[in-house]
Amino acid sequence: MAGQEQQHQRRRVVVLFSLPFQGHLNPMLKLASLLHTRGLGVTVLHTDFNAPDPARHPAGLAFVPIHETLPGEATSPDSNILTKLLALNAACDAPFRHALASLLRARHRDDDDVACAVVDGQCFAAMRAAGELGVPVLALRTDSAAAFRKMLAIPRLRDAGYIPIKGNKKEKLDEPMPEFEPLRVRDLIRVEGSDTDEICSFVASVADAVRATVSGIVLNTFEAVEASELSKLQSELSLPAFAVGPLHLLSSSSSQAPAEAEQSVHEPDRGCLPWLDDGHPPRSVIYVSLGSLACVDRVVFDEMAWGLARSGVPFLWVVRPGSITGVGEDDGEAPPPLPEGFEEETRGRGRVVKWAPQREVLAHASIGAFWTHCGWNSTLESVCEGVPMLVQPCFGDQMVTARYVTHEWGVGMEVGEVIERGRVAEAVAKMMVGEDGALMKERARHLKMEASAATGSAMDGLVRHILSL
């Protein structure tokens, strides 16, 4: 009997679940492909909202919807990120639990055996549910190790009087945070419309779920950029941390992933690629995008526009529907109107799209810099293409990443504390044609080489860990 069991190898299956944000789905699905390539069974549980298209992923991946019911605030451009996260956690809790339990029952009858669940590191409800169902849990963080460390410290920083940040005094804001070098007080936290207690309670829910249920943290980062942060994180959490990034780079070299495996919540406007081909010298165009969630107010948006116009630099600008606070919520598909006269002023020199094929854009020879909100995926994508950055962080982990881009890796500079057209034009020109920009381009080229050298060894370690569970 024992011999028979030995002969009959059960397939180990990993169940993955991501919150339905672009910046979370991308790395989770890349991780799914990589685990599949390494011989593990993979089932992706997903929300109906922003559901992945199985046709864009390797044939062996199974996709199972959890059929959640989302309240309006989970997806409204009016909601801030914390409201969205709390609403998604509440809405996914029971459907995720139900879907995972069904899967466990079905697997019990099959030859498959669920080895573990890899759950979105912001979805404390799913981590807890998986733990309660007796499934080993790994948390996938889609931010950097530095940002995650800082997040976990938020309740402590509040108790120490750092948060909420009081007053607007520059000296106070610029005070260094020795424990979190190179961060300053001003990089600690910014979520408009949320109070510190709400934020601390969310952080406590994540931290409790991690401590109670998780057997390891998976991060889309790599040693060359975050070695010391990773080792601090491991010792603070007493958990193994697997730095398996840059996931988009490692998964694109995996043979089973289709060439166009990008999971996009909006249809990219591919017309910008021939436009980039067309007569733009190498490194002459600035690419501008604030990601899939960040909004700015109308005044800031107009200053960005007129700053770009004034800079004289060719640009490709992603203006997403809903990217100006309070504009366009009624018609989710229409991007906000550009300032009057802007298109005439920049005709032939700029292109505005609703959504870009960002990785291909960043890989294009004409792109000289990326004006970014410093979402972690965007930052990694820029690093991997050797494109220096102009940073305009908006909320959450973006301030931490922006600080690393500018002060730790030296591959970027701030657009400006205040977004004003004169300063914007100056920053764009400095980056594109100035000496500082040239230095940053050189450093970005080096960082790209380090990223390209990232191997799959952390992924091998992760697979070994999964098989040991």
Using CB under 6 A, pick the residue from 120, 187, 229, 381 that binds ligand UDP: 381
CB 163 within 8 A of CB 198: no
Q: Which stretch binds ligand UDP (CB under 6 A): 22-30, 154-162, 193-201, 422-430?
A: 22-30
Q: Which two tokens stand for residue 142?
A: 């889609």
Q: Which is nearer to ligand UDP, 293 or 369 (CB)?
A: 293
Q: Which two tokens stand for residue 11?
A: 């397939």
Using CB under 6 A, pick the residue from 118, 191, 356, 411 that binds ligand UDP: 356
CB 100 within 8 A of CB 133: yes
Q: Which is nearer to ligand UDP, 43 or 264 (CB)?
A: 264
Q: Is 68 in the site for ligand UDP (CB under 6 A)?
A: no
**Is 112 noted as a catalytic residue in this protein?**
no
Separation between Cα atoms, residue 455 and residue 460, nearest integer Å: 10
One of 36, 46, 57, 120 is an active-site residue; which one?
120
Q: For the chain, give percent helix, strand, coil, nearest 5.
A: 50, 15, 40
Sheet holding 315-318, edge to edge: 350-353, 315-318, 285-289, 367-372, 389-391, 412-414
Using CB under 6 A, pick the residue from 96, 202, 306, 376 that binds ligand UDP: 376
Q: Is 404 in the site for ligand UDP (CB under 6 A)?
A: no
Q: State the nearest-atom distance from the C-beta of 446 to ligand UDP, in Å.
A: 22
CA atoms within 13 A on the CB side of 37: 19
Q: Which is nearer to ligand UDP, 22 or 392 (CB)?
A: 22
Using CB under 6 A, pick the residue from 52, 131, 155, 375 that binds ligand UDP: 375
Adjacent-strand bridge partners of 289: 372
CB 102 within 8 A of CB 133: no
Separation between Cα atoms, residue 56 and residue 374, nearest integer Å: 26
Contacting residues for 240 by C-beta, under 8 A, at least 6 apart:
215, 216, 217, 234, 461, 465
Within 273-332, which residues bind ligand UDP (CB under 6 A)?
Answer: 289, 291-294, 318
Q: State the nearest-atom distance from the C-beta of 397 to ligand UDP, in Å.
A: 9
Q: State the nearest-atom distance from the C-beta of 264 to ligand UDP, in Å.
A: 6
**Is 24 noted as a catalytic residue in this protein?**
yes
CB 256 within 8 A of CB 33: yes
Catalytic residues: 24, 120
Contacts with ligand UDP by CB under 6 A lie at: 21-23, 26, 264, 268, 289, 291-294, 318, 355-356, 358-359, 375-378, 381
